[in-house]
Structure 1
């Protein structure tokens, strides 16, 4: 076994603390990565606090992982020692269902294996541990190539925030001629703006905070609407082809659906704690032939496509670098929305 160290939480709602643990040995098809940076996702805090389901403890969070390959298995074909590499939200799947065969492993019919807080039922049924650590061993099929041309620390959030917003934009073929509204300008929202602009769409940011207008325009948005301003909202009623909804707080879906054109699509990538409620189905959905849809992170091929797209268009996340010991301060700020726009841990500080 490989001796490793990380920051773990040993029970729900507890604090992360240093923890020594073991990774599996590098198998024939495995890649070992020295983790250099790991992004901080809101889902890390949610899983520490058992907000979604009962966690597996000890838990090492982190699924926005980038680093350098330090060892490869004998049968590995696509990576060599010294390569930059990344690991996102998933590390295994059944591999044989129709979705896996289509490169949509995240929708595996038999259940995907998450990078942390999961049991790898397809390998050894042992818990998976994430990127708040110094090293990770993954199957090369779930390991991603990272371009040397990109800022490595700012690339880390692409492995979750990036692909979560890129995937639906590509699936619904968003591009030139489309009017796209991005609801919420946070970790997900700022990436949605960057991708939609790069794909050629006209982008409007919808926000409750007037203070975010300058950032929205700097990121490439053409328009900015304060959703508390009735006059501004009236100007954009029935005007958007797509809304990319990144908000994970409770909000009024009927209100935002009214901003969509005929055949408009409201894409949910945020996860509101009380779910989704459309109160006036007739007016909000049927009379506008509008759709409310959801999207998870993309599969491995699409995630690699996204990373290559980012290299071609020089797209990375806007980040604040933190030391490992400052993770709880980062969590507190994240809950207040006080981050521009993603925290990334410098793992050299572990």
Structure 2
């Protein structure tokens, strides 16, 4: 009954086998391995983007920070939601790797609206040389609250960005879960929706640790390569990143795992809907649920062994009815029996 994070789940055996298969003899380093050539071809086919520049890095923070630094300048600001990972969970890495670009928080929710984005953009470049200049727009898909932008929502946001001549980056740490939730293609959820660059996450979806960064404008390729090297994120034994992605892409494993995680989340949400005293805070559209439960119910879950999920608030307290927020994340490996056992503890 582990719902703390999809970061904590195991590596899929097919991904692990792909790494083992690559662990034979010698291979050129720094991305010149034969496996990377295959990954590049397969991702271009998957995204229907034959000219895309494609790179692999080891972490989501590296993907976000290096991509945004490539898309923007140090004197610009990046527009993002206040809950965005680049704002709350990356220790100012985007600011650091960009050489000083700041973040402008848009709206007050996990999903940005076109009106809020337009208002935020218009508020910048009002002080000439004294203030930050307008820079990239960063969207998170799946959002940090487990919601998914529809294709039309993405298109509306990128249209606003384009009107001001700004590029849009998609933080796709859970890109696969969003594609599975929308029933669309990677192309439809990226460049066809107006996205200029995207990270295609593997770490949260059954890989050891690998993220693809894809620029649909290859003119950005050389700068990203320089930034990746200068930022110490170019792996010498790169073939082990490539091998992970080969296993991930093989037979659409990436999508199968995302389907499984999303289905598990839907099963969990259905159980929450029928339980007493639980309020789901955001529509659980992919593999994450935020829900308020009374302290007494959280205590019962923990006493029953369901200790591995994130709780916001103190379990110890005098008021058993006080609502505390829990975050529950499903990964590809969760079993229905585990979910049902957890739901049985709800009473």
Please tell me the TM-score bracket, short chain as reference.
Answer: 0.3 to 0.5
Structure with the higher helix share, 1 or 2: 2
Structure with the higher strand share, 1 or 2: 1
TM-score if structure 2 supplies the norm length? Answer: 0.36
TM-score if structure 1 supplies the norm length? Answer: 0.36
